């Protein structure tokens, strides 16, 4: 079992749900990324998604795209990101996964990337641009290595295809709450709950919902049907303020924001 499998086994035994913040590695620099990850762990996040900057992301909205651009302008490299994560192993308890383009994995080499990520303490990879038709070899390698391969199902994914994606995934299944790109939203689609409920009948994997989740009200709405919730753009937007505000203030604000989501998740679980 991977550390992600162990995490969800523990959470389920306790009747709890996962809160998974997203951060962009290297925005505004790797030192600050490390500070934010430490704070996310300190305030009780279940897992952290670490975005590997890529010049042509397929599903990220303007906030995360801008953060990738800033990091790439600083010449951030994958090996530097993995070195940062390796250096956090003694301090950070929560599992970390990379959100990484398959183009990056392919360029490094599939086996090499998985080995290097594991050596850095990374528990899995979310690969948003990996087609299920091309996932078999990576899926098999990840299962053998106990390295989670997390794939996305969207509201427009045909149901037969959604089942294929679930069967080639491990760790958890990432359900995209809305059609389109990442970003903060005031409302989520009404059919979301039914779609996730159906998907749960098709897989034993934990189902975690992301895209558009930015408010405690979203957390309370979705917690009953999800095993975990993912918040990204609202955090990345706050981190971007580190360029113009005292960094300690930004770290504190991010921590307080994530605490508010964690509180909403706890309250939803107690109802």
Quick: pLDDT tens for 219-270: 888 888 899 999 988 899 999 999 889 999 999 999 999 999 999 988 876 5
b or e along 204-229 (b: 16 or more beta carbons within 10 Å of the residue's beta carbon)?
ebbbbbbbbbbbbebbbbbbebbbbb
Confidence (pLDDT) at 182: 43
Confidence (pLDDT) at 218: 81
Q: What's the pLDDT band for 51 if we cut at 50, 70, 90?
A: very high
Catalytic-residue membership of 49: yes
Catalytic-residue membership of 217: no
Residue tagged active-site, from 41, 60, 134, 253: 60
Structural domains of the chain sorted by starting position, each given as residue range(s) with its CATH number in brackets: 3-269 (3.20.20.70)
Average pLDDT in the 123-128 region?
A: 96
Residue tagged active-site, from 41, 49, 90, 91: 49
Residue 163 pLDDT exceeds 90: yes
Confidence (pLDDT) at 239: 95
Residue 155 pLDDT exceeds 90: no
Confidence (pLDDT) at 213: 82
Q: What's the pLDDT band for 217 if we cut at 50, 70, 90?
A: confident
Confidence (pLDDT) at 137: 92
Of residues 203 and 214, which shows the higher confidence score?
203
Q: The pTM is what?
A: 0.92
- Taking only the tens place, the pLDDT of each residue in 169-207 is 999 999 987 654 343 444 555 678 888 889 999 999 999
């Amino acid at each position: 079992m991977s550390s992600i499998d162990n995490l969800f086994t523990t959470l389920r035994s306790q009747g709890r749900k996962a809160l998974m913040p997203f951060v962009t590695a290297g925005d505004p620099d790797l030192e600050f990324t490390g500070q934010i990850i430490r704070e996310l762990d300190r305030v009780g996040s279940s897992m952290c998604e670490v975005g590997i900057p890529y010049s042509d992301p397929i599903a990220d909205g303007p906030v995360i795209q801008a953060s990738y651009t800033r990091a790439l302008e600083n010449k951030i490299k994958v090996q530097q990101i993995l070195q940062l994560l390796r250096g956090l192993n003694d301090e950070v308890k929560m599992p970390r996964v990379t959100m990484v383009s398959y183009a990056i994995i392919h360029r490094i080499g599939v086996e090499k990337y998985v080995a290097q990520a594991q050596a850095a303490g990374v528990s899995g990879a979310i690969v948003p641009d990996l087609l299920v038709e091309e996932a078999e070899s990576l899926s098999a390698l990840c299962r053998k290595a106990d390295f989670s391969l997390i794939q996305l199902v969207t509201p427009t994914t045909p149901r037969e295809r959604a089942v294929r994606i679930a069967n080639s995934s491990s760790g958890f299944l990432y359900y995209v709450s809305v059609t389109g790109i990442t970003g903060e939203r005031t409302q989520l689609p009404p059919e979301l709950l039914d779609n996730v409920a159906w998907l749960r009948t098709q897989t034993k994997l934990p189902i975690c919902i992301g895209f558009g989740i930015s408010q405690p009200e979203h957390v309370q709405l979705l917690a009953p049907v999800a095993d975990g919730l993912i918040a990204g753009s609202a955090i990345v937007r706050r981190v971007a303020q580190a360029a113009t505000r005292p960094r300690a203030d930004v770290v504190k604000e991010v921590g307080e924001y994530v605490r508010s989501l964690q509180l909403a998740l706890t309250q939803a679980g107690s109802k």
